[in-house]
Amino acid sequence: MIPVAARTSSQSTPGRLRATLRRSVKQLAKIDIFNGDADGICALHQLRLAAPGSDRLVTGVKRDIGLLERVDALPGDEVTVLDLSLEPNRRGLMRLLDAGAHVRYFDHHYAGEVPVHPNLQAHIDTAADVCTSILVDRHLDGRFRPWAVAAAFGDNLVQSAEALAHAGGYARARTRMLAALGECLNYNGYGDSLADLHFHPAELYAALRPFADPGEFVAVSPVYAELTTGFRADMRKTKTLAPAIDDPACRAYVLPDAPWARRVSGVFANRLAAELPGAAHSVLTPDAHGSYTVSVRAPVAKPCGADTLCRAFENGGGRKAAAGINRLPAAAVDEFLRRFAEHCFG
CATH of residue 144: 3.90.1640
pLDDT at position 42 is 98
- Residues 192, 270 within the same domain: no
Tell me, what's the pLDDT at 133? 98
Residues 165 and 267 in one domain: no
Residues 222 and 298 in one domain: no
pLDDT at 109 over 80: yes
- In the prediction, which pLDDT does 110 show? 87
Q: Place 217 in a pLDDT band, splitting at 50, 70 and 90.
A: very high
> Same domain for 199 and 255?
no
User: For residue 3, is pLDDT > 80?
Assistant: no
Percent pLDDT > 90 in the chain is: 83
Residue 319: per-residue pLDDT: 85
The last residue of one of the domains, among 192, 211, 231, is 231
Q: How far is CA 330 from the centre of its chain?
A: 25
**Confidence band, pLDDT 50/70/90 cuts, at residue 301:** confident
Is the distance from CB of 73 to CB of 79 less than 8 angstroms? yes
295 and 227, same domain (yes or no): no
Q: Do 281 and 159 share a structural domain?
A: no
In a domain, 330, yes or no: yes
Residue 13: pLDDT over 60: no
Please choose, from the candidates 195, 40, 196, 178, the residue with its C-alpha nearest in 3D space to the C-alpha of residue 109.
40
* Among 181, 211, 231, residue at a domain's last position: 231
pLDDT, mean of residues 125-141:
96
- Could you say which of 197, 231, 265 is where a domain stops? 231
Residue 7 lies in a domain: no
| 187: containing domain | 13-231
Q: Kindly state whether residues 227 and 265 are assigned to the same domain.
A: no
| 64 contacts: CB under 8 Å, gap ≥ 6 | 6, 36
pLDDT at 169: 96
3-state secondary structure of 253: strand
pLDDT over 60 (residue 20): no
Q: What is the CATH number of the domain that holds 251?
A: 3.10.310.30
The DSSP line for 263-275 is: HHHHHHHHHHHHH
Does the residue 225 lie in any domain? yes
Residue 29 has pLDDT above 70, yes or no: yes
| Spatial separation of the C-alpha atoms in residues 49 and 133, rounded to whole Å | 13
Q: Is 135 exposed, middle or buried (0-12, 13-18, 19+ CB in 10 A)?
A: buried
DSSP state of 218: H
The band of 318, judged by pLDDT with boundaries at 50, 70 and 90, is confident
Mean pLDDT value of segment 78-103: 97
- Residue 2 belongs to some domain of the structure: no
pLDDT score recorded for residue 213: 97
Flag whether pLDDT at 103 surpasses 70: yes
Greater pLDDT, 14 or 139: 139
Total number of domains constituting the chain: 2
* The pLDDT of residue 136 is above 70: yes
The predicted-structure confidence for 48-60, as pLDDT tens digits, reads as follows: 999 998 899 999 9
Q: What is the pTM of this model?
A: 0.87
8 belongs to a structural domain: no
| pLDDT computed for residue 27 by the predictor | 78
Beta strands in the chain (DSSP E): 30-34, 56-58, 78-82, 102-107, 120-124, 245-246, 250-254, 280-286, 291-297, 316-318, 322-329
Helix (H) or strand (E) holding 96: helix 90-98
Q: Are residues 218 and 163 part of one domain?
A: yes
pLDDT above 90: residue 5: no
To the nearest whole number, what is the mean pLDDT of the chain? 91
Which one-letter amino acid corresponds to residue 29? Answer: A
Whether residue 1 lies inside any domain: the answer is: no
Q: Does 149 reside within a domain?
A: yes
Are 94 and 141 found together in one domain?
A: yes
Question: Closest by alpha carbon to 19, among 88, 62, 76, 60?
Answer: 76
236 found inside a domain: no
Query: Which pLDDT score, from 0 to 100, does residue 18 have?
Result: 52
- The confidence band for 79, taking pLDDT boundaries of 50, 70 and 90, is very high
Model confidence over 233-256: pLDDT tens digits?
999 999 999 999 999 999 999 999
Query: Which residue would you say has higher pLDDT here, 80 or 8?
Result: 80
